[in-house]
Amino acid sequence: MTDNLLAVRGLRKVFTTRTAGGRHEHVAVDDVSFDIPEGSCLAIVGESGSGKTTTARIVAGLETADGGTVTLAGQPSDRRGRRRGPGSAQMVFQDPFGSLDPRQRVGSAIEELLHLHHRLGRTERRARVVELLTQVGLDERHAGELPGNLSGGQRQRVAIARALSMEPKLLILDEAVSALDVSVQAQVLNLLIDIRRQTGITYLFISHDLAVVRQISDRCLVMRDGRVVEEGRTADVLGNPAEEYTRLLIDAVPRPGWVPRRRTQTAFAP
């Protein structure tokens, strides 16, 4: 894991809104740079509005940066010129319904991508569908199901299988386990760890859950207000943070036995 698969340099993204009061600009990503060695996992953490998801969407080609560069496997990558086929970056979202057609059966949803991007015959495509479903802990019978008939964990496994069907070099996971029940979250997280170990795929993992980040990532990048606050080995950043903001994030995580502090009086007390 010495060669960088992904190199991000000086990313900047500004969103503009127009209201009755005039034109307003919000800098969502400001001079963000980082590398991800091939086969490793980098987690980006931060509170809501920190810019972590916007950064991920730019890397995936779903947003266009106003400045900076993204290089994937040595090739410049942007929304207009990036490859969409095998070997590209693929993204798994928090809500799998965002990428699954509720009227399309699971097998058809995966086979559709195989038909568009791989030179496989019908029999080969269907065999590959079963192989992908097995890889994510499902089986052949799930191919005939509609997404609405599956549990949340099963739908997320299908979304992962669809992403893997493109044989991506980089898999971007945007809060991919945060909407799941704790037990299901652990299962999907272990699945992702196993897939990475078996295939050598590279992950960009977006999360606000520091416990999950500790488990899955090699390195961790902390963002605040669109900028990088701290970066390093996950064990170092979360175990011995150098920045006050990182310490505040860690301290905000509820611990066993924690109870909310009661107010002794309020402004509305009689």
Tens digit of each residue's pLDDT (9 = 90 or more) over 39-54 = 999 999 999 999 999 9
Same domain as 159, residue 54? no
* Identity of the amino acid at 152: G
Instruction: Please check the confidence at residue 81 and state whether its pLDDT lies above 50.
Output: no
Asked if pLDDT for residue 140 goes beyond 80, the answer is yes
> Residue 155: which domain range?
96-165
Under the banding of pLDDT at 50, 70 and 90, the label for residue 87 is low
Query: What pTM was computed for the model?
Result: 0.87
Looking at the structure, tell me whether residues 30 and 141 fall in a common domain.
Answer: no
Give the per-residue pLDDT at 118: 84
Span 97-114, average pLDDT: 91
CA distance linking residue 36 with residue 9, whole number of Å: 12
In a domain, 266, yes or no: no
- The answer, yes or no, to whether residue 266 has pLDDT greater than 80, is no
pLDDT at position 8? 96
What pLDDT does 267 receive?
46
pLDDT at 180: 84
CATH code assigned at 19: 3.40.50.300
Whether 51 is covered by a domain: the verdict is: yes
Residues 6+ apart with CB under 8 A from 2: 37
C-alpha to C-alpha distance for 56 and 135, rounded to whole angstroms: 25
pLDDT band for position 263 (cuts 50, 70, 90): low
The answer to whether residues 144 and 202 belong to one domain is: no
Residue with tokens 């299962």: 187
The answer to the question of residue 158 being in a domain is yes
In percent, how much of the chain has pLDDT > 90? Answer: 69
| Domain assignment present for 226 | yes
Buried (b) or exposed (e) across 122-135, using 16+ Cβ within 10 A? eeebbebbbebbeb
Domain end marker among 107, 135, 165? 165
**Structure confidence at residue 97 as a pLDDT band (50, 70, 90):** confident
Cβ-contact 209, 197 below 8 angstroms: no
Model confidence pLDDT, tens digit, residues 146-203 = 999 999 899 999 999 999 999 999 999 999 888 788 888 899 999 999 999 999 999 9
What local confidence, expressed as pLDDT, does residue 181 receive? 84
Under the banding of pLDDT at 50, 70 and 90, the label for residue 119 is confident
SS3 call for 67: strand
Residue 191 belongs to some domain of the structure: yes
Question: Is the domain of 160 the same as that of 173?
Answer: no
Residues 187 and 83 in one domain: yes
Across the chain, mean pLDDT equals 88
- Residue 257 resides in a domain: no
222's enclosing H/E stretch is: strand 219-224
Q: What is the pLDDT of residues 192-228, one digit of tens each?
A: 999 999 999 999 999 988 999 999 999 999 999 999 9
CA-based Rg of the chain, rounded to a whole angstrom?
20
Flag whether pLDDT at 74 surpasses 70. Answer: yes
Residue 269 lies in a domain: no
* Number of structural domains in the chain: 2
